[in-house]
Amino acid sequence: MSETVLRIRDLHTQFALDDGVVKAVNGVDLDISRGETLAVVGESGCGKSVMARSVLRLVDRPGRITGGEIWVRHPEGPGKTPEGAPGGMVDLVTADKRTVRSVRGKRIAMVFQEPMTSMSPMHTLGNQIGEAIRLHEKVSKAEARRRTIDLLGRVDIPDPKRRVDEYPFQMSGGMLQRAMIAMALSCNPELLIADEPTTALDVTTQARILELLRSVQEEFGMAVMLITHDLGVAAQMADRIAVMYLGSVVERGDVVSVFRSPRHPYTKALLRSIPKLGSGARERLRPVRGMVPHTYRRPPGCPFHPRCDEFLAGRCDTTEPLPVRGPEPDREVRCLRYEERPEEAAATAGTPQARDPRRHEEEGA
């Protein structure tokens, strides 16, 4: 059986602001196994970055994790392990600060959406990456510098011996992104979370960075959570995919089966919005109809119902859907249309999510 490196259960992260509460992450369940790539996709504002930052306990104030579990592997795991997971895991939601810090950067590293949030403009690459190495390992400055040069070379930064003494502003976007990946790899993490690692780059550089990610993943044998709004990137890179909408995962499964037979109307709409070869270059894409609702006004029932092409009046606007498993292994969808099919509803009857009474609480408009 493949080894779980991250298991998220019913995660809730909220921002309590003066005008109301933003439920940025609202009941996310996710698993990532050793060595695999999970793509997390969804429109802007659906909670991808907040979910990723929650994993490392790096949510900006006034954001707060208000519920759920984030299990990661840890040698000092207290022995209390999630159902069905291997031993030696800790829950980062309840872990102490020391444990969280020992996971961050060491077991789980992150490449952020905005490069400059993790790079300091005041320090050279060598100092920053060297510092990251020395934070987790007792090595001399000279050894850290040697390792930094080696890492810069591994991410295909030309002339690493010179570049190691450069500042971030001296580098192009693509080179900086490589340096960020080098920094993330510096402690040989078992999970790399890459939040839109290529969005700001031109297409050629984007392709090179993705290629690089794939090759370092093979070399280092790590798992990758790749956050992207680009379904093409997800198809090219991922083993499995999780589609997020308004803070929850509405559909997940292996990439081939989700792309071949999407079940959630939101997944179907997203797939229709990607360009197809040969469909005529001038043909307009069909974006998902309607807008993501205002953050304070989460629709009651299924949060996607105001935009849904398969909306059932009197049902989708009143009842929050539960996850439904199947038909392929590892597939799950949150849509009332599938809950109505008894054979599939039965398949979820034993899951903790299905039993959780909170799932039926109405959020109110």
Ligand X SMILES: Nc1ncnc2c1ncn2[C@@H]1O[C@H](COP(=O)(O)OP(=O)(O)OP(=O)(O)O)[C@@H](O)[C@H]1O
CB of 38 to ligand X, least distance (A): 15
CB of 29 to ligand X, least distance (A): 17
| Residues of span 96-125 touching Mg ion by CB under 5 A | 113
Find the binder of ligand X among 45, 153, 293, 299 (CB under 6 A): 45
Residue nearest to Mg ion (CB): 49
**By the rule CB under 5 A, 198 interacts with Mg ion:** no
**By the rule CB under 6 A, 322 interacts with ligand X:** no
| Residues of span 282-321 touching ligand X by CB under 6 A | 295
**By the rule CB under 6 A, 210 interacts with ligand X:** no
User: Residue 295: which of Mg ion, ligand X, none does it interact with, CB under 5 to 8 A by kind?
Assistant: ligand X
Length of the chain equals 365
- Neighbouring residues of 57: CB distance < 8 A, sequence distance ≥ 6: 65, 92, 100, 104
Interacting span for ligand X (CB under 6 A) from 46-54, 78-86, 177-185, 255-263: 46-54
- Neighbouring residues of 10: CB distance < 8 A, sequence distance ≥ 6: 27, 28, 29, 67, 68, 69, 353, 356, 358
Bridge partners, residue 75, by sequence: none
* CB nearer ligand X, residue 43 or residue 190: 43
- Neighbouring residues of 13: CB distance < 8 A, sequence distance ≥ 6: 24, 25, 47, 50, 51, 54, 59, 63, 64, 65, 66
**By the rule CB under 5 A, 54 interacts with Mg ion:** no
The 249-288 contact track toward ligand X, x by CB under 6 A, reads: ----------------------------------------
Cβ contact 37:217 at 8 Å: yes
* CB nearer Mg ion, residue 125 or residue 244: 244
Token pair belonging to 162: 């010179």
**By the rule CB under 6 A, 198 interacts with ligand X:** no
Q: Which of 56, 59, 193 has the alpha carbon at shortest distance from 113?
A: 193
Find the binder of Mg ion among 4, 49, 54, 186 (CB under 5 A): 49
How far is residue 77's CA from residue 151's CA, in Å, rounded to a whole number? 30
**By the rule CB under 6 A, 197 interacts with ligand X:** no
DSSP assignment string, 248-277: EEEEEEEHHHHHHS--SHHHHHHHHTS--T
